[in-house]
Amino acid sequence: MNKSRRSFISGSAALGAGLLASRRASGQHHHEEMPAPGTPISTGSEPGRVHTPDLPKLAWTLDNGVKVFTLTAEVVKRQFLPGKVFDVWGYNGVCPGPTIEANEGDRVRIVFRNNLPEPTSVHWHGLEVPVPMDGVPAISQPLLEPGQVFTYEFTLHQNGTFFYHSHMPMQEMMGQVGFFIIHPATPHLPRVDKDFGIILQGWAILPNNTVPNSLSMEFNWLTFNGKAGPDSTPMIARLGERVRIRLVNLGMDHHPIHLHGNQFYVTGTEGGRIPQTAWYPGNTVLVGVGQARDIEFDAKRAGDWMVHCHLPHHMMNQMASMVGPMTHSAAGMHTGMGMEEGMGIVRNSGATSEELGPSLGRGTGLAAHEMPASHLVGQSQTHEHQKAPSQDQDRKLVPGYPQDMFMTMDEAVAKPETYGLAKGWTGAMMGMMTVVRVLPPDMYDKVMDLVKKGRPKGPGPTEHKH
């Protein structure tokens, strides 16, 4: 019997009163039951180290040549946008979980604690590990009950973009996923100067609720690394550098990820590096559920280039018919509708029918209608390029009006990486969107100096000179 499995079984017998005040996952390593955070992987001058915007790295300690990581599954709060904080499930206080970064040939030990209110396990997606370490409940290991600890240990003989996640499907939909990146023993060529990682997720969150509906098939929040545009932190590159972006998708939708202004090559999958003779060019790559895709390009054209899912409904926030204030403030709303109507799930009518229109509450037995209203939600705004408010009534007569809105929140999401973006840039950023900023040397140095100092600055220069 595997030592980790044997120690797990013996430890389970002690659950009772203290529920694991100091449970051991491996009898061989008493002192490392739950190691304190150690020294994180160096990000010095070594090429290829990965930056995962808005996500931390998982620190490690060294024990007789073994890299020891501590991973804890737990309920966390995650702010998708300023003022939009949700109760999700993640690891070590963040969702998605912290990035595990190691090298080909490393021996790693992941001491895992379950602080969730239900059983769980961890699967190492794409990694070739011994069956007892594969993290599939009942098949490769017992389920870990709340409070229990299990030690995963294996040697890394692959390299590439992998990830870890719960092997309980609804827990996956609650957010339980994280990067597991393995650098090659011999660096790939051509070497990259900047290496980024983005995890793609979709969420169904009903109005006035903070908990995702993991049973839903419709999604109204789409995130990069747990952030919705425009709060997703931009990726920064110096003009002329070679850039890699690693993309991982764990959700219910496939995502066509599009890069503006550049052509890239697809150089890797969740199976590792693609031979160079099989690389293919593009500017949009489909990242299927459970897949990873690595793209690489030479940043030869200065500019603030968008990176986003090209599914139109994934380029919005709170995409649900009953969410938020009404576009036409004088109109009323339905009352007493159900969850399916609220999430826009089509059953017996069209997607734009009245029964899928805005609603206050669900199942409350209130009046069926108040006043007819547009199905589009959000604040009504007038912009310089639009007609005067006095002509708003004429626009309402146009079939299909209104469709899109343009709402800015530059100051609310300001951070060092956004310095110098054009005024109003946030109006173009919603849902599964971010930017890769290819900056001339002087502007690059200015932004990176601000990042190093950690001081949010104002919008900076607003003119486009790309």
CA-angle at 215, arms to 211 and 216, nearest 5°: 85
Q: How far apart are CA 270 and CA 125, in angstroms?
A: 8
Write out pLDDT tens, residues 257-277: 999 999 999 999 999 999 999
Q: What is the largest CA-CA distance in the chain?
A: 78
pTM: 0.78
Give dist(CA 268, CA 71) in Å, integer: 26
Triad 48, 49, 52: Cα angle to 5°: 120
d(CA 248, CA 181): 11
End-to-end CA distance of the chain: 62
Pairing of strands 292-298, 264-269: antiparallel
Residues of the chain with pLDDT under 70: 1-48, 315, 318-391, 455-466
pLDDT at 280: 95
User: CB count, 10 Å around CB of 240?
Assistant: 13
Model pLDDT, residue 236: 98
* Count of residues in the chain: 466
pLDDT at 208: 80
DSSP string, 397-430: TSTT---------TGGG--GGGTTPPTTGGGG--
DSSP 329-343: TT---EES--HHHHT
Q: What pLDDT score was predicted for residue 216?
A: 81
Q: Which pLDDT does position 403 carry in this prediction?
A: 80
| pLDDT the model gives residue 97 | 98
446 half-sphere exposure, CB direction, 13 A CA radius = 14
User: In the chain, how many H helices and how many E strands?
Assistant: 5, 24
Q: In this structure, are residues 265 and 293 in contact, taking their beta carbons and an 8 Å threshold?
A: no
CA atoms of 457 and 21, how far apart (whole Å): 45
**Are 314 and 251 a contacting pair, CB within 8 Å?**
no
Domains and CATH numbers, the chain: 3-191 (2.60.40.420)
Are the C-beta atoms of residues 440 and 239 closer than 8 Å to each other?
yes
SS3 259: strand
Give the DSSP H/E element, type plus range, for residue 125: strand 122-125
